[in-house]
Chains A and B, each alone.
Chain A
Amino acid sequence: MDSIELARSVRLTALDLCHSKRASHIGGAYSVADILAVLYADVLNISPLTVDNPERDRVFYSKGHACTALYAVLNACGYLKGYDLLKEFTVNGSYFTSHVNHQIPGVELSTGSLGHALGVACGTALALKRKGNAGSVFTIVSDGELDEGSNWESLLAGAHHALDNMILIIDYNKIQSFGSVEEVLALEPLADKLRAFRWQVTEVDGHNHDELRKTLAESSLARNGLPKAIIAHTVKGKGVSFMEGQLAWHYKSPNDADYTRARAELEA
């Protein structure tokens, strides 16, 4: 499956999950869907058979609330053999919690409390360097979660220890829980802040697969003493016209009518 098809599949599965289980956060799942699709289709050196291989790339998915996108990509890529995601998601006794869970194959770290994964990624990146391991360490964070001070501790550490095997991807959809990022707690000028923290910063269209592929591949290879930050400009709810840029889809789960309309748009 190429990355375009994979992204479409991720959005459809996330739609199914959010609709059938009345789950939230479809907006954030859609803003990150293309990033995940390009990573899993074209960039990462992991497969369902190598989830424990020490040489694999590590992916820390910090925006654990947008779990449907990660579960969907793992499902489409064959990591969830023996599981029935659509049936098991959030049901009693299932490890498919609605914040991602490391009990699920392919999930490196449970997240859901924001601002934890980047520091774990720093420790992982340091360990790989000290052990002479060539794997790359990817961390996907949301924009709103950069409010958490712990991230800025980790940004200091990543640069100080020259963790150039780290690639931070910011899903910058400009909307957080209670309003726009600029209204709630402004991040701008974000690129300048990250550069001032001594990260190599690239800004991309987070829905343009060619741009994502090129930047992710280059960032993964460049061992130049600098950790990499990719600011992916995205649209919350991307792919479904009535969800795009709408705060409400941080919370709402699609009703039957929403579901039918969204499905038609995604399959068009």
Chain B
Amino acid sequence: MFKKALLALPVALALGATANAQKAPEDVLQALIDADPGSVYLTQSEMNIMMMPDSPALWVGMDGEDLFHTARGPNNVSMEACDFGKGPGVIEGAYVEMPRYFEDTGKVMDLETRIVHCMTEVQGFAADDPAVRQRHGSGSDHMKLQTYIAMQSNGMEWNNPLDHPLEKAMRDAGEVMFARRAGMSDFNCYACHGEVGKQVRASRLPATEAKGEWSKAISWPAFRVGHDNVRSSQHRVRGCYYQMRQAGMLAGSDASIALISYWTDMARGQPAVLPDMKR
């Protein structure tokens, strides 16, 4: 543990340098806490806050940096050729402006779907290649790349564009989905996120109306201590539908992206904690 702590500092410095040299993720979180000191969600785990400078997600992000800049796939090109919305290879501030509309596909895409697109269309990987297919786990290419790319938006304000009619349509459909009750428990997203200061079992819940809480809540990738893995937005959405006793969400479906468009819009203007650490 001690060794890891010693090593983590330079990692944090090196990775932070490209995005927001002034603020580490724990500093961004601290600012959210300072703005809402009564929030039991933001402050629920002192241990996690303490551990953030040593988050394993920082290492996953470092692997992602290597992966991002390495020429890969049948076409032997790196992710630098991929446009995440701000031009090929530009990732600083790209993630807080996703999901967004992409001209080349005619679709609104979140980070994960965009990485899939670039792996298959730019790098030439087959859709069933493990690099494309394996979405979960700290060891997956997806989580490495997502973490690295997202970290270049640490401390920046969520600001997914809604100028394109499709972006607006997806956000509005996501708002409906957020409130849509179905399944054996009649739950919608508000069952857990509609009131401030609640908990499910021992777990403190973030509420949509507490904007700082919501900003941390949607700050994925995050290292989930209980899972011992870095997790993504798509993983969170799937888990929520699972607990709601609704159907299994398909990764990258337009339904998932609509929901993520709405949840990002609800955190608009709040700083992203990337990578975050969650229980």
Is the pairing of A and B real? no
- B contact set with A: CB distance below 8 Å: none
